[in-house]
């Protein structure tokens, strides 16, 4: 006999609308008391939790509530859900399609609002919207609350102005590393984190089995030969740079190349900059070749061959590139080996509800062309809106595609990243990952489309090399997420989160004008507790006072300095109390620390620009008592 379902009973919630799940009730009860980040897999009821918290806050404290979603379709989806479940008449949808004058009226008339964040930010700045009497703000897809995204400004204004504020943040994954998680926690004033995974005991009863299968895709001999030539071209350019005093190390990565490019541009080293720019383009061709196929790689190369930039000419004149052009042209007429495997898998599971994810719009349409001619397969493509140089789908077109899929007129949905986030889609039988993503956020969102109501399967098609590494990295990050969240929350509680701390007297920091467009300067500018002044400095980046001068060293900068011993001696000679900030992964950091300690220069280790900002503020507050000289052989870690 089937167990009778129980439902949430509340004066503001319609009867038999929200199933009473213990884990949702526990999370909601905690969320009404503290600013809370809820991390929950797709399909496990983040919206239900939000509705319970909205009902509780409005019933107990009165006032108004606002839920924000990144896109109009997601906002409409929430609006419909709220109207269906809440016993509240004035639930209002506010998006950019509503005129300014009308929005001015709307904000003063409703009790519960659903809006896109850009509209909320704009209307706050225009004086159309005031948050004083809002007793709850809900931030959907909260992992976006970083950098200059509107969520950051909205949360800050809300916590400063509201009489009885409460923030509820919702996401399937808050970020791929501790730094991004910590930024989200700080930006949204989070005091409590509620994490549930598929393995959580209170969640498991509501989920079905999920199987994950990795299919390794062998590349042909011709593919391997072209890939080998591309790697030889990169090595050749790397050796050339080494001879010019720029050492990229043994393993050249895109991240390393991009960082070196910025440093060379800032230092005006034009010749080296052109070589690095050419290497970045070769690396992109290599990535396309391995993951997407020869056709896309060749089209990109043809575009470079028509280009007039000096870096393009350097690339085209490379002997390895010259040799591979005819080989790549011949291969471009053949599909990537993944396509044959994809056809087999789709045929094997014909009749099942399937979603195929790919990173590129062009690949999505190539898959569509392949599947359109197969019996029993009714594919559709879902892509994002139009952007520069590319066709896209309007939100109305996206809605029609989704309706076709939900109704069963389409049984295979081929989607780019637009299908990963938030959309209310039915449970899939199969999710097929045509290409991998290193992002744990996207990895979790993709997998969340399957194995909820009924058993499902995730199949990943992986080329060897970088793509297999992407999948392993994203999977590892997913497993580490709960640990990272707890650690980041602990760090955020130790950081200046309170309003009183944010409003304390501003700390003056002088910044070298060459650093003004860098990430550290931008973060310093955005802080309420720091005032910066741009000055010209020689060999250092920041001036704390008339004695303490700070040099921020990344791996890229260290490569350009060359003789570190000479550089440190010059710092010691020129400045009363120099301090070294070693940011990110740095080779030979112990050697640098030893050289610095011999000269009495403190070395502070930081993980990223955000960590560097915290270190600069700490140095400013502690001054000479902590940074008047180094402890021999030691690196001071930024907490």
For residues 144 and 163, what is the distance between their CA atoms, to the nearest angstrom?
Answer: 26
Output 563 or 386, whichever has higher pLDDT. 563
72 near 143, Cβ under 8 Å? no
Q: List CB contacts of 347: < 8 A, sequence separation 6 or more.
A: 374
Q: What are 357-373's pLDDT values in tens digits?
A: 888 888 899 999 999 98
The pLDDT mean for the chain works out to: 84
Q: Which CATH architecture has domain 336-464?
A: 3-Layer(aba) Sandwich (3.40)
The class of domain 505-637 in CATH terms is alpha beta
> Does residue 24 register a pLDDT over 90?
yes
Query: What CATH number should be reported for the domain whose range is 22-206?
Result: 3.40.50.300
Q: How far is CA 130 from the centre of its chain?
A: 30
Q: What is the pLDDT of residues 486-515, one digit of tens each?
A: 665 565 554 444 444 444 467 889 988 777
What's the rounded mean pLDDT across residues 456-460? 85
Strand partners, 194: 38
Q: Which residues contact 157 (CB under 8 A, 6 or more apart)?
A: 124, 131
Neighbours of 472 (CB within 10 A): 14
Question: Could you tell me which of 214, 231, 227 has the C-alpha nearest to residue 336?
Answer: 227
pLDDT in tens, 373-416: 898 899 999 887 766 656 778 777 887 888 888 888 889 999 88
pLDDT for position 108: 87
| Range scoring the smallest mean pLDDT among 64-73, 304-313, 626-635 | 626-635
586 or 303, higher pLDDT:
303
Residue 167 has pLDDT above 70, yes or no: yes
Split at pLDDT 50, 70, 90, the class of 421 is low
Rounded Cα distance between 476 and 180, Å, is 16
The string of DSSP codes covering 458-498 is EEEEEETTHHHHHHHHHHHHHHHHHHHHHHHHHHHHHS--S
Q: Is the pLDDT of residue 630 over 60?
A: no
At 13 the pLDDT is 94
All structural domains of the chain with their residue ranges: 22-206, 221-331, 336-464, 505-637
- Least confident stretch, 152-156, 248-252, 301-305: 248-252
**CB-CB contact of 607 with 520 (8 Å):** no
Q: Answer yes or no: is pLDDT of 472 > 60.
A: yes
Q: Do 22-206 and 505-637 show the same overall fold?
A: yes
State the pLDDT at residue 407: 84
More confident residue, 574 or 489: 574
Do 376 and 350 meet the contact criterion of CB atoms below 8 Å apart? Answer: yes
- Write down the pLDDT at residue 534: 77
pLDDT at 443: 59
CATH class of 221-331: mainly alpha
For the chain, the first-to-last Cα distance in angstroms comes to: 56
- pLDDT-wise least confident of 215-219, 310-314, 375-379, 395-399: 395-399
**What is the predicted pLDDT for the residue at 324?**
92
164: phi then psi, degrees, rounded to nearest 5: -140, 70
Residues 494, 491: Cα–Cα separation, whole Å: 5
């Amino acid at each position: 006999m089937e167990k009778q379902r129980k439902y949430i009973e509340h004066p503001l919630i319609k009867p038999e609308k929200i199933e009473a799940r213990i884990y949702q009730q526990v999370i909601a009860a905690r969320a009404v008391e503290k600013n809370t980040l809820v991390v929950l897999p797709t399909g496990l009821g983040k919206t239900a939790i939000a509705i319970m918290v909205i009902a509780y806050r409005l019933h107990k404290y009165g006032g108004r509530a606002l839920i924000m979603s990144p896109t109009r379709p997601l906002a409409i989806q929430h609006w419909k859900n709220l109207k269906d479940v809440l016993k509240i008449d004035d639930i209002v949808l506010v998006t950019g399609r509503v005129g300014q004058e009308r929005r001015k009226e709307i904000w003063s008339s409703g009790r519960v609002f659903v809006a896109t964040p850009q509209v909320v930010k704009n209307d706050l700045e225009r004086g159309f919207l005031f948050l004083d009497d809002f007793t709850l703000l809900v931030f959907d897809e909260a992992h976006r609350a970083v950098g200059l995204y509107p969520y950051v400004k909205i949360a800050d204004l809300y916590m400063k102005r509201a009489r009885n504020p409460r923030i509820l943040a919702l996401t399937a994954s808050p970020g791929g590393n501790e730094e991004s998680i910590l930024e989200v926690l700080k930006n949204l004033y989070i005091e409590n984190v509620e994490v549930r995974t598929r393995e959580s005991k209170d969640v498991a009863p509501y989920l079905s089995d999920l199987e994950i299968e990795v299919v390794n895709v062998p590349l042909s001999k011709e593919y391997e030969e072209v890939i080998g030539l591309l790697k030889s071209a990169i090595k050749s350019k790397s050796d050339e740079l080494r001879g010019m005093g720029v050492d990229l190390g043994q393993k050249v990565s895109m991240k390393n190349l991009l960082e070196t490019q910025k440093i060379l541009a800032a230092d005006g080293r034009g010749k080296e900059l052109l070589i690095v720019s050419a290497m970045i383009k070769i690396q992109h061709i290599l990535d396309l070749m391995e993951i997407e196929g020869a056709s896309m790689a060749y089209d990109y190369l043809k575009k470079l061959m028509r280009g007039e930039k000096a870096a393009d000419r350097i690339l085209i004149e490379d002997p390895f590139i010259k040799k591979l052009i005819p080989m790549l042209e011949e291969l471009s007429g053949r599909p990537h080996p993944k396509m044959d495997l994809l056809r087999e898998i789709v045929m094997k599971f014909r009749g099942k509800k399937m979603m195929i994810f790919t990173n590129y719009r062009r690949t999505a349409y190539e898959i569509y062309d392949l599947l359109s001619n197969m019996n029993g397969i009714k594919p559709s493509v879902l892509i994002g809106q139009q952007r520069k140089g590319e066709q896209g789908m309007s939100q109305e077109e996206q809605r029609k595609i989704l309706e076709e899929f939900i109704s069963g007129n389409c049984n295979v949905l081929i989607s780019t990243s637009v299908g990963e986030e938030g959309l209310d889609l039915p449970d899939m039988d199969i999710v097929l990952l045509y290409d991998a993503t290193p992002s744990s956020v996207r990895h979790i969102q993709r997998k969340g489309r399957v194995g909820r109501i009924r058993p499902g399967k995730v199949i990943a098609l992986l080329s060897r090399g970088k793509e297999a590494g992407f999948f392993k990295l994203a999977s590892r990050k997913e497993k580490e997420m709960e640990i990272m969240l707890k650690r980041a929350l602990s760090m955020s509680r130790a950081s200046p989160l309170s309003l009183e701390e944010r409003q304390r007297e501003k700390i003056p920091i002088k910044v070298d004008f060459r650093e003004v467009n860098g990430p550290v300067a931008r973060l310093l500018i955005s802080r309420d507790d720091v005032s910066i002044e741009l000055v010209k400095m020689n060999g250092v980046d920041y001036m704390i006072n008339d004695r303490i001068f700070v040099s921020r060293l990344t791996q890229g900068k260290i490569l350009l300095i060359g003789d570190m011993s000479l550089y440190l001696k010059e710092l010691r000679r020129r400045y009363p109390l120099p301090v070294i900030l070693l940011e990110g992964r740095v080779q030979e950091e112990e050697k640098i620390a030893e050289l610095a300690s011999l000269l009495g220069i403190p070395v502070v280790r930081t993980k990223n620009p955000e960590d560097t900002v915290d270190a600069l503020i700490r140095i400013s507050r502690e001054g000479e008592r902590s940074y008047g000289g180094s402890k021999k052989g030691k690196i001071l870690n930024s907490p």
